[in-house]
Chain A
Amino acid sequence: MNDKLTTTKVPTTRRKFLKYGASAVIAAPYITKVSAEPTTINMLAWYGHGEPDMVGAFEEANNVKFQAKYYAGGDNMMALIAQSPPGTYDIILSDGEFVQQLNAAGYIEELEPGDYNFDDMLHEDFTQFPGHWADGKLHSVMLRAGHLGVSYNKNFVTAEEAKSYKCFWKPELKGKVGHFDWHLPSLGQMSLLEGNGAGLWDLDDAAWKQVQDTTLSLRPQVGGYFDYGGTFNSLKNGEMHAMCGIGDWITGVLEKDGAPVASVIPDEGGIQWTESYCIGKGSEKADMVKAFIQYMLSPEGQVKSAQMAAYPGIVITKAGRKLLNEVDPVEAQRTGQVDGMENDPITLIKEGRIHYRNIPVQQSLEDWNDFWSEYKNA
């Protein structure tokens, strides 16, 4: 045996040695490069979630590269997934109210609850967020949230006036009230004004008619309907003095920039937008995606989310809030994310003043969109 081994020699000549040696030297950088090539994680999300301020540190630490495809609105997200082959998106950031539709369509993987620290959530609802669980199985993990109420320019609307959606009808604001151009938040706010409270999405015919009439009565006050950029600009340059359908996710960015704008939750209540992570069906990088979701739920990830350059969100974990108060007390104070503050978003939820954004229960999205088009043309 040993003899055999010793006699099995690679026939090497000096010429062959030089040839293979040279090849190895030339190929070496490429071999190193191949081994260092980062794994691509395909992300489907709202704008900003795949930017370096959010994913840069994780990319560096794990040798991955996020390839983000951005959408605007749950319908748009559903369509993009529906038109792509399974496995196209490894991670999907969904609006909370659309998770059940993603699950019903079979677009997302089941998650293992033990992988996520639900005990650290600031509110029990965040653990069992509506639609995130089905038949006792977890399909999505909440990441962040924000509240929608009255957004206003402090030079033209007082804090007292902003305590009610009725301020949008203030005569001095004629032509100065803007809408974020999406029916769901604006009509939801009109529904709250009509006193529908927790049933704001579950409107019978009479209640729906009342919401439409109230909305139409606001039309003379309206100065325009804007997308994200337009909303941002019109508040910044003072064209609009009050804005319906938005919250701190836009005014927060402007406020930090020194603009005299603010958002408050009025007495009639506010609406919560919720963003949650899901693992795309058929993803081959589920383990890495799971690690990323865990990272985003860690105190560091939560602080990044609160400070996100595109639009801020509130942290949802106790450890995240603690770290935010340590590293960025100004932002924590500004957004009320300090235990005991009057405008603490968690306190507002506990007081029943915040209602999670949902889709219409008794009407279709199309009914609401049809009315929105009529309203814009009125």
Chain B
Amino acid sequence: MTQSDSTASNNRSSQRLYALTWRLPIIVWQLLFFIGPLLFLIAMSFFLVKNYRMHEAFEMVNWQKMFSRAYFKDAYVFTLGMAAGATVLCSLIAFPAAFALSFKVSENTRRWAIFFLIIPFFTSYLVRTFSWYVILSESGVVNSLLQFIGLGPYTMLNTVFGTMVGYLTLTLPLVIVLQTFSMSQIDKSYIEAAYNLGCGRLRTITSVIIPLAKTGLIIGAVFCFILAFGDFVSPYYLGGSKPPTLSILIIDTTKSGQQWPRAAVVAIVMMLTLFTVAFASIAYAYRKQQR
């Protein structure tokens, strides 16, 4: 080995060490606060509860119990459907707003708009949800306005509609921001080229803007799905827990008999669903871009 080889090898080692030093905190963090609890959650799903105390065991009884219950399957289908519905609805509502912010307003206006979209996150989601009581109740603002034109009152709280309003309260600002970031990165010359080649507005959106912003649009949709799928507050307080979602089922399971292992089964099923949806969506989002 020559001296230059030795120096190069030393440099590579020190570079690896340098890189590891920067990566280490995030690795440790993930191990401590994600992988560790996740493994414990999986282990806990095999534990038993006796006299309100968990006992370490390796029994399948919790899995068998939950999978044999019709209400678990019903709650799963309902939660999946509601989260998917919220994702589609939110993405559709967010798109025109994000489009306008990306292409129709000045840089300064866009900055202010994003600032105002972030502001809701400064307040408690629970408080924002409860504020809908004033707006959606039968004696609330919306029904009072509708009564002026001879309509209503309509029941909006404790319905699927109420739950959906809650989901959008949680996710819409975030999805608009993500879509805006994605679309504002598009090189405007592509859009001009599309117009020059005779594309109409709709064709430009479907053939140029959406494909170019696809990654951001999908990431926004995935975030919406994840937040809605795991949300407890909206289906409980605005949907009246009627029917319950998986998050509510977790609460119900722990409330009676302190069945944390059975709640762990529900939580693992939820996580597996979210992992599947997230990985599939992200793989799809990036796959075409690489071609």
Q: Which residues of A contact B (CB under 8 A)?
A: 72-73, 75-76, 78-79, 82-83, 105, 175, 178, 181-183, 222-227, 229-230, 233-234, 237-239, 365-366, 368-370, 372-374, 376-377
Contact = CB atoms under 8 A, between A and B. Distances in A.
Contacts of A229: 237
Contacts of A227: 236
Interface stretch (B70-78, B164-172, B198-206): B70-78
A237 B242 contact: no
Contact of A238 (B53, B138, B236): B138
A75 B137 contact: no
Contacts of A222: 242
Given A181-B241, A237-B138, A237-B139, A377 B71 contact: yes
Contacts of A373: 69, 71, 244, 249, 252
A238 B137 contact: yes
B242 A73 contact: no
A230 B236 contact: yes
Contacts of B157: 224, 234, 239
A366 B49 CA distance: 12
B69 A370 contact: yes
Interface residues of B, number: 33
A202 to B, nearest CB: 19
Interface string B150-174: 0000010110000000000000000
A369 B255 CA distance: 9
Question: Main SS of chain B's interface residues?
Answer: loop
Contacts of B133: 233, 237
28 contacts: A72-B255, A73-B255, A75-B52, A75-B256, A78-B258, A79-B52, A79-B258, A82-B52, A83-B53, A224-B157, A224-B239, A225-B244, A227-B236, A229-B237, A233-B130, A234-B157, A237-B139, A365-B257, A366-B257, A368-B256, A369-B252, A369-B257, A370-B69, A373-B69, A373-B244, A373-B249, A374-B71, A376-B252
A204 to B, nearest CB: 22
Nearest to B74: A377
A75 B237 CA distance: 23
A372 B252 contact: yes
Contacts of A370: 69, 71
Contact of B158 (A72, A234, A365): A234
Contacts of A234: 157-158, 240
Nearest to B260: A79
A76 B257 contact: no
B51 A105 contact: yes
Given A78-B52, A79-B52, A233-B133, A376 B244 contact: yes
Nearest to B158: A224
B158 A223 contact: yes
A363 B192 CA distance: 72
B155 A75 contact: no
Nearest to A223: B158
A76 B240 CA distance: 22
A44 to B, nearest CB: 14
